[in-house]
Amino acid sequence: MKLHNRGAAADIPTRLDVLPWSRFHWRVTIALGIAWSLDGLEVTLAGTLASALGSSRMRLGSTEIGLAASAYLVGAVLGALVLGYLADMLGRRRLYVATLGIYMIGAIASASSWGFISYAVARLVTGVGIGGEYSAINSAIQEFTPPHLRGRVDLLVNGTFWIGAIASAAAAGLVQMPALFAPDVGWRFAFGMGAVLGIVVLYLRRYVPESPRWLAAHDRLPEAERIVDAIEAEVAGADRTPRRAGSPIHGSGAAAGVTLLSAGRILVTEYRHRTLLGLALMAAQAFCYNAIFFSYALILTRFYGVRAETAGWYIIPFGMGNFCGPLLLGRFFDTLGRRPMIVATYSAAGILLALTGALFRLDVLDADTQVLTWSVTFFVASAAASAAYLTVSESFPVEMRALVIALFYAFGTLLGGVAGPALFGALIAGGSRDGILLGYLLGGIMMIAAAAVEFMIGVEGAGASLETLAPPLSRARLGDRPPATRIPARR
């Protein structure tokens, strides 16, 4: 017997939300969630292969390698903004196939580079693909995952960035061994791994359908119902007791009217508290995270005498701590709730970051214990950072979800990839432990301040349907006609 009524007001969200976790959900999560691993792979490769690129035929200097890293950053921001907008306009499925294709082209081009210009362009293209992946993929995963599991699934997917980073560090160490690879071959092989992995992922994504929520919002209810029928058939016989079901998506056609301007107006009027919350969470985690991650090798080599070619191996224990945090703490974001866990993890991460800076200033650590303190700190900070992406992903309407994710991702990437590393790079270059301590204290203060913002205006999304948290848009809210009544600000 069908558990729904057909028609223009078909309750697509409720039908998806009451489904139990199944092989279908595993398939979606693995096929789409690997985007974070690809980013971890690419970001870490670019850093750990720096010496190989310098000694290869390309002879790239530190300035050129830095510029290529900036090209990747610019590409990621552009890809997120442009492809995120298209993911809301054209559909999730088209984009998570297209973005992977762009990434694979960039990875192959990186492996085939013959000079600085070709390498920088290749990194730009790779960044475009990765940036586009974030917005299309995160929105699709959110829209398929049952609400009572959304927190832990989202944190786990975000945490897989570090699986890619660990794999990248190990691979980079192997390909730089002269006994195994020639100097101009090993680094090409490492970049080529991303393209090979992309082929496997592209095959898996063939079996991931379009988001029924997106289809319903775009007046394509028959297609949405066919997809939900197929998903229900796959998990037939399972318990579908409703938890906190969401509102129906009526397919008003409002989705077609979403523009960057209208989305921005909605963010600063109806959702101004959530926008402020998202900015606070993203800014804090992006600053302290990227500041440490992009400068850890400099600290190890300058203050602890670690050789540059072996510094990459230290990313493995650091990455394990970062992955285990979301893995082990994620379930509490669903059981205890978003607000208490975000406040707790952001506060704890800020305190631990300050303590790590104090121990560094006292000069009581060696290379191994320094990495251990980072690993403990980011066991908590990793869960906090993933929760920031969870917050911005579930707090806004389906019609603009991918674009909003793109906007916040771009903000965090620019802040974390420019301001944080630039400040810590200057502090490390100064050679003063006092200056580096100040950098750690600044990061800790930002994390604790973000925890305070969450405590005051945080949104409790545990177990709630996406449509309950943020009802679908209407034409009136997009400005097509004046609303009959004033819409109160949403928190």
The mean pLDDT value for 78-85 works out to: 91
The mean pLDDT value for 213-238 works out to: 87
Q: CA torsion sign, 428 to 450 to 143 to 414?
A: negative
pLDDT at 479: 54
Helix axis angle, 161-175 relative to 150-159, nearest 10°?
20
Structure confidence by residue, pLDDT tens digits, 140-196: 888 999 999 999 999 999 899 899 888 888 887 777 777 777 777 888 888 888 889
In which residue are the tokens 């990459």 written? 312
Q: Look at residue 69 and tell me whether its pLDDT is greater than 90.
A: no
Residue type, 271: Y
Give CA–CA dist 202/222, Å, rounded.
Answer: 26
Give CA–CA dist 186/421, Å, rounded.
Answer: 28
**Confidence band of 371 (pLDDT split at 50, 70, 90):** very high
pLDDT at 180: 77
Print burial letters for 165-200: b (CB count within 10 Å at least 16), e (below 16).
bbbbbbbbbebbeeeebeeeebbbebbebbbebbee
Q: CA torsion sign, 439 to 43 to 86 to 219?
A: negative
Q: Chain centroid to CA 98: how far?
A: 18
The mean pLDDT value for 381-386 works out to: 94
The mean pLDDT value for 109-130 works out to: 92
Structure tokens at 324: 């285990």
Residue type, 478: L
pLDDT at 488: 36
Contact criterion met (CB below 8 Å) for 470 and 459: no
Task: Give CATH for domain 20-217+254-469.
Answer: 1.20.1250.20
- For the chain, the domains span 20-217+254-469
Structure confidence by residue, pLDDT tens digits, 249-289: 554 455 556 777 888 889 999 999 999 999 999 989 988 87
Q: What angle do CA 386, 387, 390 make, to 5 degrees?
A: 95
pLDDT at 255: 54
Q: Look at residue 482 and tell me whether its pLDDT is greater than 50.
A: no
Phi-psi region for residue 301, left (φ > 0), alpha (ψ -120 to 50) or beta? alpha
